[in-house]
Amino acid sequence: MEDCTMKKEGMKIQIEEWKAWKKDTLRLRKVSMVHAFTGTYGVNYGRIADNLPSPERVVTLLRMNKIKNVRIYDADHGVLSAFNNSGVGIIIGIPNEFLMEMSISQDRALDWVRQNVVPFFPGTLITGIAVGNEILGQPDQELAEVLYPAVRNVYTALSWLGLSRRIEVSSPHSEAVFAITYPPSAGAFKENVLPFMMPLLRFFSEIGTPFYINAYPFLAYKSDPEHIDISYALFAPNSGIYDSRTRLHYDNMFDAQIDAAYAALDKVGFNRMEVIVSETGWASRGDENEAGANLTNARTYNRNLRKRLLKRKGTPYRPRMVAKGYVFALFNENMKPGPTSERNFGLFRPDGHIAYDIGFTGLVPSSASTRLGSFKFIGLLGAMLILIL
């Protein structure tokens, strides 16, 4: 009799859970289709720091500067709550350390989506889930093996909740996936990457996900400053390069890196897949051996990058495919490990000031603006005294 009662209670719990799941699913299916990227410009909101503004102030900062696309590297509930009704599209991330469990358990993937997406969507405009970051091309073979199963399970979880047509599933790559990128038409994947890349590309092609690449002219220049023209890396006037195979001219490395990715995709049969830059940026400070890492170059690169993306034009190889990119990063992150440059990619300082002027407004006036305002006030006061005298 006791066993029978326990079974009935268990069935009641399962029925209630099913009803709750059904309610969530019906609510989410009423949401209209969204795109993972609005316009062409976005930023990465990294938070490896102990001195950043609150997420609520970050939303204010983004809206002040009309930034409509953001990527974060986790699914922090405080951030997701702050972005509610902000109108800012946000791609959330599943950190690399969770990929193993996501790959072997569909239930775990479903639980993750129900805990980190369902409670916030659609109020918070979650437009995508990035499964891992820069997995392929790295020494960790185990992570490479579980990436595709993890991606597939996360997508299946979204499908079960009626969200797979509203929230994109992706996985950003570093330049380490390529065997060659120069000239752009020679772009090709490494042979040891292809066994893991091909299943991903086939799956992403089926579900309409772009190829996301972290492309840094800064890193290319830093690794070979003697042979790379810094003006070419910074979008500054230069003679550029000529790709004799395609007979195309490139006047900046950013476009060349994107087209190298397109060329690599072409070579393995995915010539219709869009390429989006998931990270790019320039460090405003660096160690002595980090060539080009200074404030002037960071300002030049990011100002010119913003101008280039706002033109809404394609690349020489894909002129009809509008280039899109996320800048790294919104803030300097004082707790990031590694060389000094890693802690100095921010467009803004943690106190809300702009790190340098590329046309954005800080949460507080810049020191230059403050000084200018003081001079204006002093000048006005002097004029009033003259009138009185």
Assess whether 16 carries a catalytic annotation.
no
Going along the chain, which residue ranges are E strands? Answer: 41-44, 69-71, 89-94, 126-131, 168-170, 178-180, 188-189, 211-214, 241-243, 248-250, 275-280, 325-328
Q: How far apart are CA 349 and CA 354, in angstroms?
A: 6
Counted residue by residue, the chain has a size of 389
- Is there a contact between 340 and 287 (Cβ–Cβ < 8 Å)? yes
Residue with token string 């006005």 = 380
Whether omega for the bond prior to residue 122 falls within 30 degrees of 0, making it cis, is yes
The CA distances from residue 253 to 39, 200, 285, 373, in Å, are 22, 27, 21, 39
Q: How far apart are CA 299 and CA 305, in angstroms?
A: 10
Catalytic residue, chosen from 16, 56, 134, 191, is 134
- Is there a contact between 175 and 181 (Cβ–Cβ < 8 Å)? yes
Catalytic residue, chosen from 168, 279, 290, 333, is 279
Nearest to 275 by CA among 388, 357, 367, 170: 170
Assess whether 134 carries a catalytic annotation.
yes
DSSP β-bridge partners for residue 170: 130
Nearest to 56 by CA among 370, 119, 328, 64: 64
Nearest to 49 by CA among 349, 335, 246, 358: 335
Residues known to be catalytic: 134, 279
